[in-house]
Chain A
Amino acid sequence: MQQHSIDAIKAHPRYQELICTRKCFAWNLTVLMLVIYYGFILIIAFAPKLLATPLSAGAVTTVGMPIGVAIIVSAFVLTGIYVARANSKFDALTKAIREDLQ
Chain B
Amino acid sequence: MKRFATWGVLFALLIPFALVAGPAVSGAVEQQALNLTAIYMFVAFVAGTLGITYWAAKRTRTAKDFYTAGGGITGFQNGLAIAGDYMSAASFLGISGLVFASGYDGLIYSIGFLVGWPIIMFLIAEQIRNLGKFTFADVSSYRFGQTEIRTMAAISSLVVVAFYLIAQMVGAGKLIQLLFGLDYWIAVVIVGVLMMVYVIFGGMTATTWVQIIKAVLLLSGATFMAIAALSTFGFSPEEMFRQAIATHPKADAIMGPGTLVKDPINAISLGLALMFGTAGLPHILMRFFTVPDAKEARKSVFYATGFIGYFYILTFIIGFAAIVLLTQHPEWFKEGAIVNGALVDVKGLNGGTNMVAIRLAEAVGGNLFLGFISAVAFATILAVVSGLTLAGASAISHDLYASVIARGRSNETTEIRVSKIATFCLGLVAIALGIAFESQNVAFMVGLAFAIAASANFPVLVASIFWGKMTTRGALIGGFAGLISAVALTVMSKAVWGDVLGNVGADGKPVGLIFLDNPAIISIPFSFFCIWLFSVLDNSERAKTDRAAFDAQKIRCETGIGAEGASDH
Contacts and interface: CB of A to CB of B under 8 A. Distances in A.
A2 B47 CA distance: 52
Nearest to A62: B255
Interface in A77-93: 78-80, 82-83, 86-87, 91
Contact of B122 (A29, A45, A59): A29
Question: Chain B CB within 10 Å — which of A9, A10, A87 has the most?
Answer: A9
A1 B562 contact: yes
A79 B119 CA distance: 9
A46 B264 CA distance: 8
12 contacts: A1-B561, A9-B559, A15-B555, A15-B558, A19-B554, A27-B122, A44-B108, A45-B263, A51-B256, A71-B115, A72-B309, A75-B114
Interface stretch (B198-206, B300-308, B409-417): B300-308
Given A1-B562, A6-B551, A68 B119 contact: no
A44 B313 CA distance: 19
Interface in A51-75: 51-52, 59-62, 64-65, 68-69, 71-73, 75
Contact of B295 (A1, A59, A87): A87
Contact of B255 (A42, A45, A60, A91): A60
B555 A9 contact: yes
Interface of B: 104, 107-108, 110-112, 114-115, 117-119, 121-123, 126, 237-238, 241-242, 245, 252-253, 255-257, 261, 263-264, 267-268, 271, 275, 295, 298-299, 301-302, 305-306, 309, 312-313, 316, 551-552, 554-556, 558-562
B559 A76 contact: no
Contacts of A101: 561
A64 B305 CA distance: 21
B99 to A, nearest CB: 11
A33 B561 contact: no
Contacts of A19: 554, 558
A75 B298 CA distance: 14
Given A6-B555, A94-B560, A37 B115 contact: yes
Majority secondary structure of chain B interface residues (helix, strand, loop or mixed): helix
B118 A75 contact: yes
Given A9-B555, A62-B256, A79-B302, A30 B119 contact: yes
Given A6-B551, A60-B252, A1 B556 contact: yes
Contact of A26 (B122, B242, B255, B555): B122
Contacts of A68: 104, 107-108, 111, 316
Given A37-B115, A83-B302, A22 B558 contact: yes
B158 to A, nearest CB: 29
A44 B257 contact: yes
Contacts of B560: 94
A22 to B, nearest CB: 7
Given A15-B559, A75-B305, A1 B552 contact: yes
B241 A82 contact: no
Contacts of B261: 41, 44-45, 48
A67 B303 CA distance: 22
Contact of A33 (B119, B255, B552): B119
A86 B255 contact: no
Nearest to B274: A37
A91 to B, nearest CB: 7
Contacts of A64: 104, 107, 255-257
B312 to A, nearest CB: 6
B256 A79 contact: no
Contacts of A91: 295
A86 B263 CA distance: 39
Given A64-B255, A64-B256, A72-B312, 20 more contacts: A1-B552, A6-B555, A30-B122, A37-B111, A37-B112, A38-B268, A45-B261, A45-B264, A45-B267, A49-B256, A60-B255, A61-B238, A61-B241, A64-B257, A68-B316, A72-B111, A79-B118, A82-B121, A87-B298, A97-B559
